[in-house]
Chain A
Amino acid sequence: MIVKKGSFVIEGLENVQINIGKIGEGREETVEGPTPRPEIISLRNWDYRILDRYAPVYTPTSDLCDYCTYGKCDLTGNKEGACGIDLEGQSARQALMTSIMGSACHTAHGRHLLNYLIKKYGEDHPIDVGPSNLKAPLTETIMGIQPQTIGDFLPVLDYVEEQLTQLIASANTGQEGSARDFESKALHAGMLDLLGMEVADIIQISCLGLPKSDEKTPMAEIGMGILDPKKPVVICVGHNIAAPAYILDYMDRNGQFDKIEIAGLCCTAHDMTRYNKASKIIGSMSKELKYIRSGIPDVLVTDEQCVRADILKEAQKLHIPVIATNEKITYGLPDRSNDSVDAIIDDLVSGKQAGVLLLDFEKVGELVPKLALKIGPIRKAKGITALPDEEEFRKLVAKCTKCLQCTRDCPQSLPIADAMAAAVGGDLAPFEMLHDKCVGCGRCDYSCPVDIPVLNVIEKASQRVIREEKGKVRIGRGQIGDPEIREEGRNLVLGTTPGVLAFVGCGNYPDGTKDVYNVVEEMIQRSYIIISSGCAAMDIGMYKDKEGKTLYERYPGRFIKGNLLNTGSCVSNAHIAATTIKVASIFAGRKTKGNWEEIADYVLNRVGAVGIAWGAYSQKAFAIGTGCNRLGIPVVVGPHGTKYRRAFIGKPYRKGDWNVLDGRDGSVVNVEPAPEHLMITAETKDELMPLLAKLCFRPSDNSLGRAIKLTHYIELSEKYLKKMPDDWHVYVRSEADLPVAKREQLLKLLEEKGWKIDWEKKKITEGPLRKVDVSFQPTNVPRLCKEVKK
């Protein structure tokens, strides 16, 4: 018998057992789209398209492979290793592993939160992220479903974890051998990273009452100088809000915010302020060692990610108890989760134990404030600090032999010996400069042959500037709401907004935090939309103008030209990427569900958004960048980014790389190189500025948009590189693309390049690569082209 589609009647049921797995009310969950839940291979064609244009460039730090016992294998001179892998393959495998690690980090963070929040709020707790139709854009685009409750994210994380396992497996010796496919897999891991982050932030926004697409969140204080060191001080380090939330709740219930200072280091700090605005921010990971060594913290609470490996060791020296609250970082500490709070406090105050592992958040919430109140006065009475006193300081700086070993070991090559010499003469200014440029790694301590604790000396010398280190950060807002994007659409279309720049990532800056502030200030004035998150969002708020206002106080936080937005912590990065998906959905009606390739193709060709991770250091930042790349968003990293060892660089001179299809009829159009790169390093701030403007070009720009983008590209190049860009004319399709204030001069320059100009009409008659056609529908995906009947 053949069962056909349609309805039928069951006449009778006998002895039937029906098992029901799950019951949901009122909605049907349908998986939609061409590639829902993409497997490793599902989006490979899209990856190839981008890898062919933006071919990976490798800068390996080692040309041997020692992954397995065959090795170590010398891979120089295109030699193959014992397993058959070559240096290109090995480099690509490194990129994959880096991307996987980062992705796993955010996903594990999300998993920890999800399990915890489901236990506390139930699977049916609704998603609530603010006024948006697309509530979880990345989840929709990747999974092909529209989640409604936090429980709906369970299969999402199952999927990410399964895929990550598959990817890790492919890195084993004797698995994948093609560099191109390693990169496709790295892109897959990057995409999974975006998804893991989205889950993590949406569930915490929905359950913990963090701001929901709120453009007017209050300001939080930031800086090493904001806390009153006379009060007991609690510092939370890491990324996961679960445990700190209990501490904040306990303090709130007991009215302790005026008795105890509580602040965070790294992204936990963002989420603490999002959770309770009484909380404060010390700063990025670069401040961890510096702040601990100051001796100001009385209790350190760690959770996960970007927590220094030596926190316990450093804290122990200064009798600061460490409360580890997450399985991922346990420091060999005893698990006291089942013990009474008072017993634990006794052991910590007496110094019997330097720290404890405490996985019961209720207990963490109660213990930490109590402990701070108890141990704070004791520590303060003793005046414990790692920093030398005046007398010691004078002796230490005098000891310096100017061997310069510290400078050689310093990741920023800072002129430490010069500062020592100046300090001998009583001039502390050079040290104060170093304080800002120093990323707080502490490597110099080990390099000094005469045992000067260099970092402590820098910090001691900088006490004056540290006391003044007080900034403001607008508390993380979460997603960008649809209504804001709709409103901004007009500016994007009319070209008055030249682009969207996302300043993200960590604090491993080449030349101090001030660069980020300076770049952001200029780009806001040029009407770019600036979105930030994580440590970059903190550093943007560290400086003030002559009226004493930070950038967050000067510029509002709406998704509109010339505004400055902070989405929140690391995992809030997902919302920045997701905004491009919203643009595709809102303005072009592109179906998002399970439709990654089409959306990414839209973003690559139309949305002038660029990510900047000026101080990126971690595998997480690499994964985020790689995920953005797969979504068609170019990313610029600072000079330390070369140490990621892989970039995606376009080659404008290879004309064929820049062929795209016109979606209207499938014809091939050779376009200008836009965007020119997908992941690239800028060596200096001067190089960064015009590069940012340039990476905002897109093939679909209308003339109004192109003229504005070109204006900034030319101006920034002239201002920072002191010359016209070599390739500005490549982006000119007609006279209407030319910056209005310089049209005549530029026409003359074009004529010198051999272009033909009709001077009477002031029109370009010959020269450009192609004509402007606002209805041009650039795409890199053949199946998205309309069939034309002939």
Chain B
Amino acid sequence: MANEFPFEISPMFEGERVRKDDMFVELAGPKSRGFELVKAAGIDEVEDGKFNLIGPDISEMQEGSRYPYAMIYRIAGKLVEPDLEAIVERRNHDFQNYIQGYMHLNQRYDVWVRINKDAIKKGLKSFEQIAKATMMLFKNELPFIEKIEATYITEPDEVEKQRAEAIKIYEARDARTKGLHDEDVDVFYGCTLCQSFAPTNVCVVTPDRISLCGAINWFDGRAAAKVDPEGPQFAIPKGEVIDKVGGEYSGVNEKAVALSGGEYSRIKIHSFFEYPHTSCGCFEVVGFYIPEVDGIGWVDRDFNGTAPNGLAFSTMAGQTGGGKQIIGFLGVGVNYFRSPKFIQADGGWNRVIWMPRNLKEKIKADIPPELADKIPTEEDVTDLKTLRDYLEKKQHPITQRWTKEEAAAEVAPAETAEAAPAWSVPAPAMTMPVGMPMMPMQFGGGEGVKLVFKNAKISIDRIVFKNKEK
């Protein structure tokens, strides 16, 4: 096919690295300064396809030199809004890496770009070529962008000046993201992208809950729904609030029925035990209930050992996945630990009683400080006994539940009641996981038939001794 650019544009070049010896010029990066920024603007304020360069162009640069580098895009369209800026901006990295001989690393004010000597030989001489290709990709992939213009800067003072502005914008955006909660919006987003592999899974993405693969947040969902409202990511109007704490909404429930083919009728977004969110298979972390201490442990994919309940990640993940609603196990993305509504239906952080050291390290900043040293890792405890002792010694808030429970024990086995609610889904979805409290077995009284064996020969192929629990 004809190519208007002097370079190939293909995902094949995504992983391409430009080494120092092959480099024509380095832009921004750790030894210089730079940034990338996307700004929403009014439809009449943007001249589609316009490119403006402040500072020297590629053809004016010396081989082996280094320059500061800023890329500013202004986008406009009926559906364009400031909430989408960050989403669009992040794609600059993807798209620019499609360009052969052009390496783009990091994002925002950390960008680091290198251009290969071969690209220059093949005819790359101006940033305009890069910008035009990038803008073409933006418009192709995100058709809600009706107009786009770009300004690239290589002039040091100008980069500095604009960078200070950009940082203010990033900060404002971050504050908006952090300050935006489920109750502040009218729509959530559903994502069914993974139904190509996990046919019954539906991810509900809310400001306080990222998709469990960790790839789609509320803003991503919003952008994708604008690109194609009938596509795999779509708006879910919240509807009525049914359970504020657990995060149950009539709109979500209606969608759940439709999208799971009737498999599920209720989903509580921030609940572990009651109508939990389904888990596909990509989740980064599995939460698992330990009935012996009435708490929830979390184990991540990278942890190779066994949790205090004697099970490894893979074993528990095997119980969890497949786009099914499973009580007692929950798959989540690491970022969900950062949500202020983190399993709030079940006591939130107060219910967390174990996690591997590396995971704990990763999310340290988000653990409530008063709990930080009360949640043990594989270095502190190895089994249920040492776990219990540890929690007791550190006075983990979970121990308060024990006293309550003991008091109530005579009335009813409390956790059984909570963990096995009245359930309205078909039987296959209701796998009772290992380690869950079982309903007491009915040992029969031998009604009806009585047998007397005389002169019998009994051949048994195999006898199985079952170890009684505890």
Contacts and interface: CB of A to CB of B under 8 A. Distances in A.
B322 A585 contact: yes
A714 B324 CA distance: 37
A740 B141 contact: yes
A391 interface: no
B282 to A, nearest CB: 4
Given A562-B15, A606-B196, A490 B137 contact: no
B352 interface: no
A718 interface: yes
B467 A589 contact: no
A23 B464 CA distance: 6
Interface residues of B, number: 74
B144 to A, nearest CB: 10
Contacts of B455: 14-16
B458 A17 contact: yes
B1 A745 contact: yes
B322 A7 contact: no
Interface in A673-698: 698
B321 A587 contact: yes
A525 B12 contact: yes
B11 A527 contact: yes
Nearest to A488: B282
B285 to A, nearest CB: 11
Contacts of B466: 26-28
Nearest to A772: B231
B11 A775 contact: no
Interface in A472-517: 481-483, 485-487, 489-490, 492-494, 496
B281 A4 contact: no
Interface of B is mostly: loop
B62 interface: no
Interface string A23-51: 11111110000000000000000000000
Contacts of A586: 281, 317-318, 321-322
B234 to A, nearest CB: 10
B11 A24 contact: no
Nearest to B449: A8
B143 to A, nearest CB: 6
B313 interface: yes
Nearest to B212: A490
B259 to A, nearest CB: 7
Given A21-B459, A21-B461, A493-B194, A526 B199 contact: no
B2 A745 contact: yes
A492 B195 CA distance: 11
Contact of B261 (A486, A664, A745): A664
A724 B1 contact: yes
Nearest to A133: B318
A742 to B, nearest CB: 6
Interface stretch (A118-126, A223-231, A305-313, A705-713): A705-713
A774 B232 contact: yes
B467 A487 contact: no
Interface string B136-148: 1100110100000
B309 interface: no
Contacts of A588: 197-200, 281, 322-323
Of A11, A134, A486, A494, most buried by chain B (CB within 10 Å of CB) is A486
B312 A526 contact: no
Contacts of A607: 197
A482 B322 contact: no
B179 interface: no
Nearest to B138: A740
B417 interface: no
Interface string B449-469: 111111111111111111100
A724 B228 CA distance: 28
Given A562-B15, A774-B232, A9 B467 contact: no
B193 A14 contact: no
A777 B261 CA distance: 11
B329 interface: no
A589 B196 contact: no
Given A17-B458, A490-B282, A493-B194, A28 B464 contact: yes
Interface of A: 1, 3-4, 6-29, 131-134, 481-483, 485-487, 489-490, 492-494, 496, 525-527, 562, 583, 585-590, 606-607, 663-664, 698, 700-705, 708, 711-712, 715, 718, 724, 736, 740-745, 761-762, 772, 774-775, 777, 786
Interface of B: 1-2, 9-12, 14-16, 95, 98, 136-137, 140-141, 143, 192-200, 213-215, 228, 231-232, 259, 261, 280-284, 301-302, 304, 312-315, 317-318, 321-324, 444, 446-467
Which 10 residue pairs of A and B lie closest in terms of their CB atoms, listed nearest first? A589-B322, A133-B318, A9-B446, A489-B282, A587-B281, A741-B9, A587-B197, A586-B281, A743-B140, A774-B232
5 contacts: A4-B449, A13-B456, A19-B459, A526-B12, A587-B280
Given A10-B453, A27-B464, A28-B466, 7 more contacts: A4-B449, A21-B459, A704-B193, A736-B228, A741-B140, A762-B140, A774-B196
